[in-house]
Amino acid sequence: MNKVVAGADEAIKDITDGVTIMLGGFGLCGIPENCIAALVKKGVGNLTCISNNAGVDDFGIGLMLKQKQVKKMISSYVGENAEFERQLLSGELQVELIPQGTLATRCLATGYGMPAIFTPAGVGTEVAEGKEVRQFNGKDYLLELAFEADFALVKAWKGDTQGNLIYKETARNFNPLMAMAGKVTIAEVEILVPEGELDPDAVHTPGIYVHRIFQGTDYEKRIEQRTVRKRN
């Protein structure tokens, strides 16, 4: 089955108001830039977004926040976005903050078909409010539910027409987990090759998880925080 679509606009054409979307990436590394731009262009709103972060004010998910397209953010770190902070404090935006390992494992549970996990992260904190606590071997664990995501938008370095994906270096972050977890997974790649050209041993996400794939363009790959040594 050839899963290639013409571009981001076609790939996200059935994303409508009110759906839940997973967006891969860590900070600004490995984010689905083209899909985000297409969502901004389309103007779809009332979205629930599951992502490690909320981007920055003028890049990534921050562009969607600026247009008030996001109803709720489910994230583990949101500290680089002033507009996010403003919407949170004003009550315009619903926010669920999750320990990063819990966020990753809830994605993984969805991909594995598991309804829930038990984790020690958050026990005794605000994270545990309203959640079941169960003891195993004398230690308390929280019950955390797997996610229900209508779409997963991921970005890979290379892919083939069957949807097999290879991520490059640190861009192999939340992308593989979220690719497994979407009811519909859309992948944008820098390099798209014919079926059979990828080394099977190098594939990180098998094509069985991917429903649509396209070759992206004009990647900015912005660096969120640049730290360099002083010259001698």
Domain containing 194 — which CATH number?
3.40.1080.10
pLDDT tens, residue by residue, 131-172: 999 999 999 999 999 999 999 999 999 999 999 999 999 999
Neighbour-count burial of 42, counting CB atoms closer than 10 A to its CB (0-12 exposed, 13-18 middle, 19+ buried)? middle
Domain span holding position 208: 8-117+147-215
Dihedral of alpha carbons 85, 36, 40, 19, sign: negative
pLDDT of residue 230: 83
Higher pLDDT, 123 or 227: 123
Do 56 and 30 form a contact (C-beta atoms < 8 A)?
no
Within a domain: residue 123? no
Within a domain: residue 206? yes
The secondary structure element, H or E, covering residue 155 is strand 151-160
When the pLDDT of each residue in the chain is averaged and rounded to a whole number, the result is 94
Do 139 and 121 form a contact (C-beta atoms < 8 A)?
no
Structural domain count of the chain = 1
Residue 166: which residues within 8 A CB-CB, separation 6 or more? Answer: 156, 157, 158, 159, 198, 202, 203, 204
Within a domain: residue 221? no
pLDDT of residue 1: 75
Higher pLDDT, 136 or 226: 136
Within a domain: residue 159? yes
Within a domain: residue 222? no
Within a domain: residue 50? yes
Report the predicted TM-score, pTM, of the whole model to 2 decimal places.
Answer: 0.92
Within a domain: residue 132? no
pLDDT of residue 78: 82
Within a domain: residue 92? yes
